[in-house]
């Protein structure tokens, strides 16, 4: 039995050596390649669009934070200036400035005149 198998194997080897080996290459599906390339290109374009949109949103967020900080600074400066204006308009300060810088004095008695004879 073993000899028979050996003989069959030798015959198989002889036949195989005599037959030309034909290797068939798989047929390239160009249509499928085009569709895959288009799919990859669309995916890349969508990814780029999403990235650019996200960058724009983040940069606008940073700009908004900066504007809010600037607004808060301007509001505090405005409050400080309003307080300074109130101090400069105070009657006591005006009286002191008139007396010290201009040499004015406060009259002791004030007389009013009226046109009616009463």
Domain segments of the chain: what residues?
Answer: 29-101
Alpha-carbon distance values, 80 to 76, 77, 84, 90 (Å): 6, 5, 6, 16
**Per-residue pLDDT, 109:** 81
**Is the pLDDT higher at 107 or at 70?**
70
Q: What is the pLDDT of residue 115?
A: 82
Q: Does residue 117 carry a pLDDT above 70?
A: no
63 has a pLDDT exceeding 80: yes
On the question of pLDDT at 80 being above 80, the answer is yes
Instruction: Report the mean per-residue pLDDT for the chain.
Output: 88
Q: Cα separation of 98 and 90, whole Å?
A: 13
pTM beyond 0.95: no
């Amino acid at each position: 039995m073993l000899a028979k198998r050996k003989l069959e194997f030798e015959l198989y080897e002889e036949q195989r050596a005599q037959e030309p080996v034909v290797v068939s290459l798989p047929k390239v599906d160009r249509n499928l390649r085009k569709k895959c390339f288009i799919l990859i290109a669309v995916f890349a374009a969508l990814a780029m669009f999403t990235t650019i949109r996200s960058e724009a949103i983040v940069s606008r967020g940073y700009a908004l934070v900066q504007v809010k900080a600037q607004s808060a600074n301007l509001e505090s400066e405005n409050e400080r200036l309003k307080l300074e204006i109130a101090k400069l308009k105070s009657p006591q300060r005006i009286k002191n400035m008139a007396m010290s810088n201009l040499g004015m004095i406060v009259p002791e008695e004030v007389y009013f005149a009226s046109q009616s004879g009463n």
